[in-house]
Structures are given as structure tokens and as C-alpha cells.
Amino acid sequence: MLSQRRLERRPQARPLFDRAIALRAIGDSFKKLDPRWMMRNPVMFIVEVGALVTTLFFARDVLARTPQLGFDFAISAWLWFTVIFANFAEAVAEGRGKAQADTLRRTKSDTLAKRVVGDTVETIASSLLRKGDIVRVEAGEVIPGDGEVSRGAAMVDESAITGESAPVVREAGGDRSAVTGGTRVLSDTIEVRITANPGETFLDRMIGLVEGAQRQKTPNEIALSILLSGLTIVFLIAVATLLPYSIYAGARQTLPVLIALLVCLIPTTIGGLLSAIGIAGMDRVMQRNVLAMSGRAVEAAGDVDTLLLDKTGTITLGNRHATEIITADGVSARDAASCAHLSSVADETPEGRSIVLLAAQAGISTDHPAEATFVPFSAYTRMSGVDLPDGTMIRKGAPDAVIAWVRVAGGEPHADLAAHVERIARAGGTPLLLARNAAVLGVIHLKDILKPNMRERFDRLRAMGIRTVMITGDNPLTAAAIATEAGVDDFLAEATPETKMALIKREQQSGRLVAMTGDGTNDAPALAQADVGVAMNSGTQAAKEAANMVDLDSDPTKLIEIVEIGKQLLMTRGALTTFSIANDVAKYFAILPAMFAAAYPAMGVLNVMHLATPQSAILSAVIFNALVIIALVPLALRGVKYAPKGADAVLRENVLIYGLGGILVPFVGIKLIDMLLSALHLT
Amino acid sequence: MTIIGWLQAIAFFAVVLALTKPLGLYMMRVFGGERTLLSPVLVPVERAIYRLSGVREDEEMSWFVYALCVLAFSLISLVYLYVLLRTQQRLPFNPQHFGNFAPDLAWNTAVSFTTNTNWQFYSGESTMSYLSQMAGPAWHNFVSAAAGIAIAMAVIRGVVRTSAKTLGNFWVDLTRCCLYVLLPISVVVGLFFVWQGVPQNFNAYREVTTVTGVTQTITGGPMASQEVIKELGTNGGGFVNANSASPNENPNPLTDFIELILIFSLGAGLTYTYGRMAGDTRQGWAIFAAMSLLFFAGFAAAYAAEAAGNPLVHRLGVLGANLEGKEVRFGAAASALFATVTTDTSCGAVNAMHDSFTALGGLVPLVNMQLGEIVFGGVGSGLYGMIVFVVLTVFIAGLMVGRTPELLGKKIERREVQFAILAILVTPILVLVPTAIASVTPAGLATLNNAGPHGFSEILYAFSSTNANNGSAFAGLGPNLFYNVATGINMLFGRFAVIVPVLALAGALAGKRAVAQNVGTFTTNSGIFVALLLGTILIVGALTFLPADALGPIVEHLLVLQGKTF
């Protein structure tokens, strides 16, 4: 089963450090040394200025042949490494997106388009297509641009965009009409109305997004940058004033030593990795084949309180099966089955097909009568059926809708049917009333099939504090039964676009952030209103434009993963900030005693790590500070370990690892580096 | 250290703890305009004040207007005291015929009392007339304290209100604080002090011949009335230079004990007010717990250092605690306790000479002030200072649970972080930069009492104390034009450069909607939050000052161990 296979599919395994990406990133990390670029990141800009100043001191040392030549060289070299390592982290994160963009760009190679003008077809370059043009695409050809199928239906291979090899059906009208430029038609011929000018197509936007060209700092990233800049100013003051203090103490400090202390104290670890974390978060979403229109959307996903999940396709497998037809008093089973068949023979929904199958088992088989009009299901009428040429109207649909319809025609349903409707609904099935003109003929029992493992997923969400609300067009009884069986927290039955919208607004008014998935055009307003709206790629253009994410696999369950990625992104930032700040304790203990060892030998007591010499102590702290950035690049790209738990449990764990660890690790690290430096007689 | 010594601290803390809820509840009612026990008497007075001054009781202010009112009120107070001190010679109630203050000293003193600092570069008993004492320092002791509490109330409202534009009315908060909170307590405890022997008169000083045949001047004046508000409003400015070490201001261990309680009580009570107004008293108790832990840590360190004494003195055969500069009637424990309490808050009253503490004993007051006095703190300022740290902790640690950090459901975003950081920046700038200037300029070095690290500590202490609006001194440092002007500027910015961003922070929070809380929400009322808050305070607040402290008290301590003094 296709949808089930998608559910199981793990994200594409791309190694963290691809050789080509790493090589390109090394080059980029030098290019990013440009001060105009570095200014965007105040913390690392300070490090770069420090590196430059120490380099000048080294140059002076060379000319004057001063004894601290070696020390100044080592400090300046490691400060440059610190900047380059941070740039490398960002470059690797960006490189992963760029690699993906390159793959996409290859599918974008200029194709020819067959434009339909009146009755004639002319062949032009796809780059000349404009919004509103109609193009014809035949089997084996590439669709030249984004658009909607205006005529026909075809199997389309969308693997270039989605990475999913199974072809999908695209047809005129309805919610499966959108096609994407760069995908290939496998069978049949369709006509497509182009909906995007060249350069503005989905593929173009996608390339822009994965490349990070349109990347803007997210709100939380900005707030964190302000905090980091503030801390940098605090430490800048602490270190700058240390110069006069040291003069008072008769132990004047050199600028390279003060710069070394400054760089160790300012939050370089998080400052250097901050943008990489954000880019990598977007990338992780992308690897699950979800296209986030902005980093803001991914961040918002972490804050989501309420998930609105469509029952069909998310909680249950799309196909409900008709299992029995219960007839009303005085209606023959054959008559009912025959009407059920007639009403469904043109109905391509899985439910419709299953009714045809059920009727066939009862020995009924008729073709769609000529000149009969099929009445498709709509979210407003909640019925479908057929109008026969002789004036007979057959409807099947939600009981209340059908009853209302029958009453309009002057009929009244049998009371005993109500009991059947209720029984089916209680059991979690979907009762469909079948009516002909003013008479209700019976009840069709549709059975829902729950997707496997959904209950565990909802339990996980609940542990994270997220409420799940099932959205369904079913009546309240059916909805309640399925909701209980699936383990969701709440449900919205007999949902219409309006009630769905109202639910979202209600949730938001009580201070909750809402995420939802949708694909139809009538989902568009709700998708826009929701804080996180994920449109299915198979959905309409309107839905995709209203949403802030598009799931290329059209798998609604993925919303859950997106929320997890959002949370992981924020956690990674918090963890590395905490780690970075906690590191300062050890660095003080390494550098301060070293600075004043000559003037106040008594300060040696504070040298708790017993570092060999003042110079090796300072150098070890600087080296540790640089290496820790590189060491944490994989963590920044992958995100911290994530488990669905309550906030208190998560916090306790992360505080222990990144807070307490942040205090202890540098003591060990600096000591080890110092031992190594001493062993190699480098200081 | 002795058990008796520790029992003093524990008994003191137990009383503070017992007072926290009733005082907090009372303040909540007062500032909420609800009826209290004193309403029948005071409501007519309150109404009369509003009628006379044209204040509309129910008219609320935005954070900006509130801040403007605070600034305007403070500016007028400042000018008023300056003029008073410059003209006291010709004004009544001046039996000692003291002359006018010099301009720079008058500026320093006016700023000092306006900002609730009570840094004193003058000796009250030899420079200030009774009128100046009563209409100057004593009056400021009420209103500057009331202003602090009013701001704290505005900040609490900002944190707990949702989608609101206003934070309350400054004039109403100020009036209610003076009328319902400060005055009643001052009257009752003032009478108690008179009973215990604190002078309260308008007599000229008396010359007496002591048993040993020496003449001694016994000061008088309206002392008891000023003594209560000095502690209750965490002001700290003594009527006499010796402050609470003088037997006139602080006659016996009982008054000492009461003075300590006065210093902590309102600050402690406000934590409860906060919790109650937040609709979750545990929010307040979490802050109370963090404050208590810092208090006990400070006391333990100071008491241990003082009780251990000075190794150099021990070598001379005089064993025991360090009693230099201490009143023998209080001893090491009560002195260490007073020093800790007075710097945990912005009080600055002293019952011993901090300059004579051991190096590590002196480090405790220094660190307390550098943290921004957030351990119960200055009345009002302690709570709002702590709330800034709470916001920072929520932002840094809150991210680790995978949600945009929230405080009581309000998302901490760009603007909140911005204002919190602005408030945090004030202390390092105002403590470290002037200390740096003073430590390398002749003017800064001219009036030092000691050389080496101890001299450095004196400078650092002066700027830590004035920035934090504490007012206690490492008395070694003498006044000169440089210090009069520099500490004046420091006090002014130390108070108002924090108040403005803090009110802006409150305004930003008030305007926010509260998001729903669930098990995925970072809680700010748990033990782990208290631990994180302490971690943030120590790493963000204290580590900044480690280099400076290392070159002052820490290295001095290490050198004393080696037998060197300065």
C-alpha cells in the first residue's frame, strides 16, 4: 500500500560530511572572512578583529624579535582558526542545501513547451511561457512549468521534486489538478494552464529556499543574537577594564593576552554555530521532503499546542469499505443494492468504488446510464449521487444531510433506520443513508481502517504537551468512536470549512498555536489562519500558496515529524547557549591565575588545573575554545538528542548534559591540551 | 563559627519567612485599592491627597508615562534636596549652626538620597541641621523607597497582565506605599526604638565629662524616626556617621535584630505579592527560595571568614574571630549577618566597619552588590532586578525544552531580551569603567587609605555600592571632587538606567497575550528553575566581576595568608 510505505520511509540518509560538500565548505569558510559578511555576526566579528590585532602584534614581534613571538603567533593562529571553524560550520550547513539545489537545477534544464493558441499548437522555449498560457503535454514529456491541469488526466512522475518514485494521478478539476514544472508525464495527454512566470515557479522557489538565498534570521534567532551581543559587550567591558586594573596592580597585561581572555569569555561556541543550527533545521525538514517557506515556520512548529489532523489519510487509511447495506422496511435488498450501485458507479472515491464492489457481490452490475448526471460529493452538501434522465434522483451521504434532502422532497425516513445509523456510528463505522427521491432506502455501512501505530504517536505528542484534534466530516457518534479507538484528544465532527476555521480561531484565542494539514482549495483559508499550515503537494495551488510548508510526499502524518524538528531546533540552540556560557567558569580558572602569576605568585592557588606555564594555560584555553566549535558541528547539524517527554524531564536531562557538562568538560579539555602542549615542548 | 552565631541568622530568617505572606498579602491589597485594616483612617487622607494634587485615582499609565513620572518626580526631589542643603545655614532647627554644603557635596548627597542609595560623603552629626535631616534624608527615605516599591508593582502588573497597555498610576502607587505601608510600620517601630533608647529630640549636642575624665559630645536629634525608615526603606543613610554601629542609632542586640528584619521584610513580602498576583504563589516562593539560598551562602562565607579571623593577628598570639572595626556588643556573627543583609538589599546601613573585615569577609558584600542586590534587595528594586534575571533564565534555559521561552505564558522574544540585556549591562559598565578610571588617575588614587589590593578594593567597593544604590562604604576611601561627582553620576545612572529598561520590559510583557501552558511548557516555579536561576545569576551576573574581585579581595586574602598586608 502506497501510503503505508511512505509512512515507514525514513528520511533520505545523507552523510553528515559529504566529501564534496566539505571541500566546498573549506573554501567558503575563507571567503566568509570578509568583514562585511562577518559583521552580521557580532560575536565572531569581535573574534576576527581580535585575530587581526594579534596578527599585527606578531608582525611587530617579528620585526623587533621579541621573545613572545612564538606565543603571539600561536594565539593569532588559533584565533583565526576559531573564526574559520565557525565559518566552516555555517558553510557545511549551507553546502548541504546547495548540493540539493544543484540536483534540482539539473531538472530545470530548459525544455520545450507546446503552447496551445486557439486550435493550433506552437513549440516555444519554456522560458517564454507566461501565466495563463495553455500548454499540451504528452506522455514522456516534461511539464514545462507550474500549472493546473485544465483538460484530461495523466500519470505523472514527480520523483524529481519529491524523490518518490511512484507516479501520481493528476487530473482536471478537483483537488488533484496541480502540476509542477520539471515533472514528467508518463501516460496520456493533458493540457495545463500555466500559473507561474519563469523564475517564480515552485522549482525556482525551492532552489532559492534550499540554497538559503532567501534566508532571514528567525525571530528567536534574532532574540538570541541580541542576548549574545549583550553578553559580548559585558565581557568586552570586563576585559577592557582589566588593562587599567593590571596597571594598578603593577602587572600590565599585553593586548594579545587580553584578547585571548576576551575570546574565551564571549559566547563563541553558540555564536559560531547559531546560523548553522538554523540552516540545518531547515535542511532536516527538507530531508523529510517538506518544503518550509521560511525558518520562522519551522520554529513555530516547535511551539505548536494543537494539531488538527484530518481523519482520512492521517488517522485512518483513506479507503473506507462498504461492508453491508441495511434496507428500510419494505425495500428489497436488490432494489437498495441497485440504487447504491447506480449512485456510485461514476464515483471515483474509494468509498464509491467499495460500494460498487459490494453491489457486484450481490450480483448487480450496470453501466453508468447514458445522460445520467453524476452529482459529486462536496463539503457543503455532504452527499453525492446521480440524477437519472427520467427525473429519478438518488443520493447517498451523511444521514442528517440526506434526511434534510428527503424532507425537502416531502418524505420522511423510517424511524427504525435511526437505530441502525446509531449502531454503525457507535462502532466507529460511517453510516451513509441511501435515498431515492422522497424515500430513504437504507443505510450503507462504511468501515474505517485505522493506520497502524497511530495511538503510540498520539501518546508521544501528549507527552510533549500537544493536543491532537481529529477533523472529520463524519457524524459525532462515528467520530467519537474512531477518536477513542485512535487515541486522539478531541475531534471535530461534521466539519465544514467554516467550523474548521472557527475551531482554529477558538484555539488561537485561548493562546494556543495550531498546526494543520490540508490539500483542497476550501482548506486554503484555514491553512492561512493556522500558525503552521502544511499543504500536500498533491493539493491545489491555492492550498499550497496559503500554507507555510508544502509536503512533497503528501503525507499528512508528517506534521508530527515537523513539530519534532521544530522543537529539536530550539532545544539545540538552548543547549549550545547554555554550554557556551557554562564554559566560562573553567576558562577563568585557566587564564586569570596565568595573567597574574608574575605579579602575584599567590594566585597560583587558583590554578586548580595545575596548568604547566602561564603561556600554555592561556594558549590551551584558546585552543579548547576553537576546537570545541569544530567538535560541536555535528551536534549543531544533527540537533540534540530528542525524545518526546514533558518539559521537566527534557529540561533536567539537558541541564545535566549541557549545563553541568558545560562547566566540567572544559576543565578536562584544557588540562589535556595543556599536557599535550607541554609534552610536545610547544610552550 | 558558633552555634549561637548561626542561631542568630536562623532566628532572623525564620521571622522574615513568617512575615513574608502577611506583608505580601497586605501589599497586594493596598496596591490593588482593596480594603485593609487601616482603610477607615487612611482612605480619607488618601482621597484628600489626590484632590489636592489633582491625581485621578483610576487613571492608569503606559510604561512610558509611568517612567516619565518616576523621572520627573526624582528630578524634583533631587533639586529640592540640593537647595535645602545649600541653604540650611539660614533655615530653622539648626542648633549646632552648621554651614551650607559645598556644591559638589550637596550634589552628591542630593543624588544619593533621591536614588535610595544614601551614600554619605558627609558626617550627619557634624554637618547637617535637624531640619535638613528631617526634611531631607528622612523625607527621601520614604519617597525613594515608595518609588522603588511602586516600580516593582508596575513591573509585577506588567508580568501578570495580558494584552494590557497600562501598568498602573505612579502617583497612586507612591501615595499608597507611603500611607499604608511605610508610615504605619515606621510609627510603631519608631516608638519601639525610642523605648529602647534611640534619641528623639531637637536638643543641641551635650558636652559631658566621662568617668575617665575626657570630654565627650553626645549627639541628639530626631533619630528614632529616621532609624526605622532607614532600614524599612532599605535606605541606609545614618543620622550619624557611625550609622548602626553607634549606640544611639542601634543601642542593643534587640534593636539590631529588629533593624535586620526591617531591612528584609518588604523585599521578602513583595515576592509573595508577585506570586499571588501571578495567580500561583509558587512563582513567588521560587524567587524567595533563590534569594534565600543566596542569602545563606553569603552569610556562611562572611561569617566563616570573620570567625576564622586574621592569621597575622593570630601569629601575635591573639586568637579568635576578627573583631577589628566591630562593636563588641554585636560580635563577629551579628556583624557578618548585618553586612550580608545590608548588601543583599540596597540598604547600606552598617553596624561594623566593612573596611576592617577580612579580605574574604569583605568580598561577600562586594559580590552581593555586584549582583545588583537581588537578594530580597532594595525595596522594589530587588524584585524587579530579580525579574530581569528570571527573564534571562527563562530565555536561555527555556529554549532547552524546545519551545519559544515563556514567562507566565508570555513569549520572551526580541523586545523582552533587548530590555533585559539593557538592564543587565548597566551594572558592569557603571562598576568596572569608573573603577578602571579611578585606578589609574591621580584624582582617583589621591584619597585612598590603603595601597595594593586593599586600596583597589576600596575603589571597587565605592563604585559597586553607588551603582547598586547601596550606600555602604569601605570607609577607607575619602571624598574629593572626583569621587563626589563620579559617584553621584554613578548613583543616578545605577538607578534610572535600570528603571527605564525594566519598565519598558514590563510594558512589553503587559501587551502580550498569554499562550496556553501544558506539560511541554517550561515551568518557573520548580526546584530546577531555582537552580537555573541561581546558575544564571552567578555566571552572567557574578563572573563578570571575577577579574576585578580577583585583583582586590581575593588576591589580598591569598597575600594575607603569606603574611603580607597593605
CA distance A580 to A86: 14
Q: Where are the domains of chain B?
A: 21-206+217-279
Which of A127-131, A539-543, B391-395 holds the top average pLDDT?
Answer: B391-395
Helix pair A295-302, A268-287: axis angle to 10 deg = 90
**Neighbour count for residue A279 (Cβ, 10 Å):** 25
- List B residues 448-487 in contact with A (Cβ-Cβ < 8 A): 453, 456
Q: Is A468 helix (H, G, I), strand (E, B) or coil?
A: strand
Q: Using a CB–CB cutoff of 8 Å, tell me whether A583 touches chain B.
A: no
Q: Which residue has the cell 494543537?
A: A306
- List A residues 341-370 in contact with B (Cβ-Cβ < 8 A): none
- B534 pLDDT more than 90: yes
pLDDT digits (tens, 9 = 90+) for A627-643: 999 999 999 988 888 88
Return the sign of the alpha-carbon dihedral for residues B535, B541, B547, B551: negative
pLDDT digits (tens, 9 = 90+) for B8-64: 999 999 999 999 999 999 999 999 999 998 999 999 999 999 999 999 988 999 999
On the CB side of A46, CA atoms within 13 Å amount to 26
CA distance B45 to B456: 51
Chain B residues in contact with A223 (beta carbon < 8 A): 395, 412-414, 416-418
- List B residues 509-528 in contact with A (Cβ-Cβ < 8 A): 513-516, 518-523, 526, 528
Among candidate residues B491, B155, B562, the one with its CA nearest the CA of residue A600? B562
Q: What is the DSSP string of B255-271?
A: HHHHHHHHHHHHHHHHH
Whole-angstrom CA distances from B305 to A217, B240, B361, B362 are 50, 28, 5, 9
The neighbouring-strand residues paired with A184 are A142, A157
Phi, psi of A226 (to 5 degrees): -65, -45
What does the mean pLDDT of chain A come to?
84
Say yes or no for a CB contact (<8 Å) between A237 and B428. Answer: yes
Name the DSSP letter for residue B180. Answer: I
Q: Is A131 helix (H, G, I), strand (E, B) or coil?
A: coil
Long-range pairs, A24-31, Cβ under 8 A, ≥24: A24/A91, A24/A95, A24/A98, A25/A88, A25/A91, A25/A92, A25/A94, A25/A95, A26/A88, A26/A91, A28/A87, A28/A88, A28/A91, A28/A94, A28/A95, A29/A84, A29/A85, A29/A87, A29/A88, A29/A90, A29/A91, A30/A84, A30/A87
Phi, psi of A485 (to 5 degrees): -65, -40
On the CB side of B307, CA atoms within 13 Å amount to 16
The whole-model pTM stands at 0.85
CA quadruple B218, B221, B222, B227: dihedral, nearest 10: -40
CA distance A163 to A554: 12
Average pLDDT over residues A428-447: 84
CA distance A24 to A95: 7
* Among B551, B555, B559, B560, the residue to mutate for chain A (most A Cβ within 10 A): B551
How many residues can be counted in chain A? Answer: 683
CA distance A166 to B522: 43
CA distance B522 to B501: 25
Say yes or no for a CB contact (<8 Å) between B417 and A223. Answer: yes
Q: How far is A230 from chain B (nearest CA, A)?
A: 6
- A5 pLDDT more than 60: no
Q: What is the value of ipTM here, to two decimals?
A: 0.92
- A498 pLDDT more than 80: yes
Chain A residues in contact with B398 (beta carbon < 8 A): 574
- A213 pLDDT more than 60: no
Which residue does chain A place closest to B543, by CA atoms?
A585
Say yes or no for a CB contact (<8 Å) between B433 and A237. Answer: yes
- List B residues 148-167 in contact with A (Cβ-Cβ < 8 A): none
Q: Using a CB–CB cutoff of 8 Å, tell me whether A602 touches chain B.
A: yes
Q: How far is A20 from chain B (nearest CA, A)?
A: 32
- B486 pLDDT more than 80: yes
Q: Is A295 helix (H, G, I), strand (E, B) or coil?
A: helix
Tell me what pLDDT residue B312 has: 83
Longest dimension (CA), chain B: 77
- B203 pLDDT more than 90: no
Tell me what pLDDT residue A346 has: 78
Percent share of chain B, pLDDT over 70: 99
Partner residue facing B399 (CB), from A245, A466, A571 = A571
Q: How far is A93 from chain B (nearest CA, A)?
A: 21
Q: Using a CB–CB cutoff of 8 Å, tell me whether B311 touches chain A.
A: no
- A259 pLDDT more than 90: yes
pLDDT digits (tens, 9 = 90+) for A22-60: 888 888 889 888 888 888 889 999 999 999 999 999 999
CA distance B111 to B81: 9
Tell me what pLDDT residue A382 has: 82
C-alpha cell at B223: 533619630
Q: How far is A568 from chain B (nearest CA, A)?
A: 6
Q: What's CA B38's distance to the chain center, in Å?
A: 27
Partner residue facing A648 (CB), from B417, B513, B528 = B528
Residue B34's Cβ-count burial label (10 Å; 0-12, 13-18, 19+) is: exposed
How many residues can be counted in chain B? Answer: 566
Say yes or no for a CB contact (<8 Å) between A247 and B433. Answer: no
Chain B residues in contact with A651 (beta carbon < 8 A): 397, 400-401, 522, 528
Chain B residues in contact with A227 (beta carbon < 8 A): 392, 395-396, 417, 421
CA distance B55 to B286: 36
Q: Using a CB–CB cutoff of 8 Å, tell me whether B414 touches chain A.
A: yes
Average pLDDT over residues A62-73: 88
Tell me what pLDDT residue A2 has: 36
Tell me what pLDDT residue A12 has: 46
pLDDT grade, residue B481 (50/70/90)? confident
Q: How far is B147 from chain A (nearest CA, A)?
A: 28
Q: Which residues of A are catalytic?
A: 310
CA distance A438 to B508: 63
Average pLDDT over residues A365-386: 77
CA distance A49 to B504: 33
User: Under 8 Å CB-to-CB from A395, ≥6 apart: which residues?
Assistant: A343, A375, A383, A384, A385, A402, A405, A434, A435, A436
Tell me what pLDDT residue A10 has: 40
Question: Parallel, antiparallel, or unpaired: how do β-strands A467-471 and A306-310 relate?
Answer: parallel
- A604 pLDDT more than 50: yes
Q: Using a CB–CB cutoff of 8 Å, tell me whether A588 touches chain B.
A: yes
Q: Is B87 helix (H, G, I), strand (E, B) or coil?
A: helix
Q: How far is B543 from chain A (nearest CA, A)?
A: 8
Chain B residues in contact with A463 (beta carbon < 8 A): 519
Tell me what pLDDT residue B30 has: 95
- A110 pLDDT more than 70: no
Pick A289 or B286 by higher pLDDT.
B286
pLDDT digits (tens, 9 = 90+) for B372-381: 889 998 899 9
Beta strand extents in A493-622 (DSSP E only): 514-518, 532-536, 549-551
Size of interface A-B (CB pairs under 8 A): 208
Is the distance from CB of A606 to CB of A589 less than 8 angstroms? yes
Which residue does chain B place closest to A302, by CA atoms?
B403
Q: How far is A561 from chain B (nearest CA, A)?
A: 14
Among candidate residues A296, A172, A183, A13, the one with its CA nearest the CA of residue A537? A183
Lowest pLDDT segment from A539-548, B137-146, B242-251: A539-548
Average pLDDT over residues A203-220: 71
Say yes or no for a CB contact (<8 Å) between A466 and B544. Answer: no
Tell me what pLDDT residue A55 has: 95
